[in-house]
Amino acid sequence: MNASATDLGRLDVYPTADGSFSLHSCHFGEAFHNSAGALNEARAKFVEPAELNRFKPNQSVAVLDVCFGLGYNSAAVLAGLPEQAPLEWWGLELDRRPLELALNQPVFRRMWSTSVLKRLQALHTTGAWSTTSSTGQMLWGDARSTLTTIRPQQRFDLILQDAFSPQRCPELWSDEFLGCLARRLKPGGRLLTYSRSAAVRASLKRAGLELFSLLAAPGERKGWSSGTMAVRPGGDVCPDHGPGWRPFSTMELEHLSTRAAIPFRDASGTSTSVEILKQRTLEQSRCDMEPTNVWQRRWGLTKHKQDSRQRAFTAIDLSDSKGGQQAS
């Protein structure tokens, strides 16, 4: 994420089908959520497969939210945990505007309890919250750098990876960055993401994680997969089927042997998106792996972009929102 927070372009507000709202980033050319619903997506792809009820009442839970954005994912997790549950929460985000816009939207505020809103407001105003049982710390900036400032021994039960799609923000889907996230998981810890990219899945597999396929959120167009759950071995055995996930199909396993599985590489941790994409394209052209279009034809798939959130939306003038802040 080589752009600074000051040049991330306009953000357009748009409604989603479940009554929530989301944003479209002109800089990345993508929406923050699919049009089926921001709240539905948060619950189906980050809360249900997290199985929050598997944690014992007094068990401390550690959560890392990569690309916090509007805050739906973490808010849904907070809402799903008992209010007094011991919690260590960390968030990584570059752009401060989405959270401010969310907190200024009545439709967003109506979705959450006073307790959840207080913690979100504290993140906005001071970058942290602290209660008798929980702490939260927002780290603003490039996630590749801010992740390294979290104490090395810190491990997480849940990592929510919700960056813009790999083709738009490859810096946060690189083999190196995903490897760092994987090493931060506790035994039995789960990394959850909407991405079904073969490159992302192959990187997570190389990092030693067990992979599962996420099911579609309510109202979402059903495709061959709606995301990925990656689990670090060593904890309680994760069943093949669970709330919101299933095993990989043969088609998905074969996808990992195509050129689409060539990783995004960022050895320095400072490469630009253009550099990462250029290197990957070159590596794909030189490899002897099966062309992805051959795999697509074999399985009767039409060519389409993986994970793209370039969905139709109805823009609303931000000056009509309570905050009245025009993104630039």
> Could you tell me the domains of the chain?
38-303 (3.40.50.150)
Residues 184, 178: Cα–Cα separation, whole Å: 10
Q: Counting beta carbons within 10 angstroms of the beta carbon of residue 172, is it exposed (0 to 12), middle (13 to 18) or buried (19 or more)?
A: buried
Least confident of 25-39, 91-105, 266-280: 25-39
Q: Is the pLDDT of residue 304 over 60?
A: no
Residue 115: pLDDT band (50, 70, 90) is very high
Residue 2: pLDDT band (50, 70, 90) is low
pTM to 2 decimal places: 0.91
Buried b (16+ CB within 10 A) or exposed e, 265-280: bbeeeebebebbbebb
CB-based contact 103:322 (threshold 8 Å): no
| Mean pLDDT of the 57-70 span | 95
Question: How many Å is the Cα radius of gyration of the chain?
Answer: 19
Q: Is the pLDDT of residue 155 over 50?
A: yes
Per-residue pLDDT at 48: 96
